[in-house]
Amino acid sequence: MTGAIWNLLLGLAWVLLSGDFSGLNLLVGMVFGYITLVLIEPHLDSLKGYPARVPRMLGFLGFFIKELAQANLRVAFDIITPPWHMQPGVIAMPLAARTEMEITLVANLISLTPGTLSLDVSDDRKVLYIHAMFLDDEEELRRNLKEMEHRALELFR
Partner 1 sequence: MIDFIKGTLIIVGALLMLLAAVGLLRLPDLLTRMHATTKAAALGVILMMLAVAMHFAEVSVAARAFAIIVFIILTAPVAAHVIGRAGYFVGSKLWSGTVKDELRPNYDPLTHELKSGMETQENAKRQPRDADPD
Q: Which residues bind partner 1 (CB under 8 A)?
A: 22-23, 68, 71-72, 75-76, 79-80, 84, 86-92, 94, 107-115, 117-127, 129, 131, 133, 135
Contact predicate 78/84, CB 8 Å = yes
- Please identify, using beta-carbon distances, which residue of 100 and 147 lies nearer to partner 1: 100
Q: Within 13 Å and on the Cβ side, how many CA atoms surround 150?
A: 6
CB of 100 to partner 1, least distance (A): 9
Of the candidates 93, 73, 88, 100, the residue with the CA atom closest to the CA atom of residue 148:
93
The H-or-E segment that residue 78 falls in is helix 50-80
Q: How far is the CB of 52 from partner 1 (least distance, A)?
A: 25
* CA of residue 132 relative to chain centroid, distance: 19
Nearer to partner 1, 45 or 124 (CB): 124
136/100 Cα distance (integer angstroms):
31
For partner 1, give the closer residue by CB, 37 or 107. 107
Beta carbon nearer to partner 1, 35 or 76 = 76
For partner 1, give the closer residue by CB, 41 or 60.
Answer: 60
CB of 111 to partner 1, least distance (A): 3
Torsion of the alpha carbons at 38, 43, 45 and 46, rounded to the nearest 10 = -50
Residue 60: CB minimum distance to partner 1, A: 14
User: Which residues face 128 on adjacent strands?
Assistant: 93, 121
CB of 156 to partner 1, least distance (A): 17
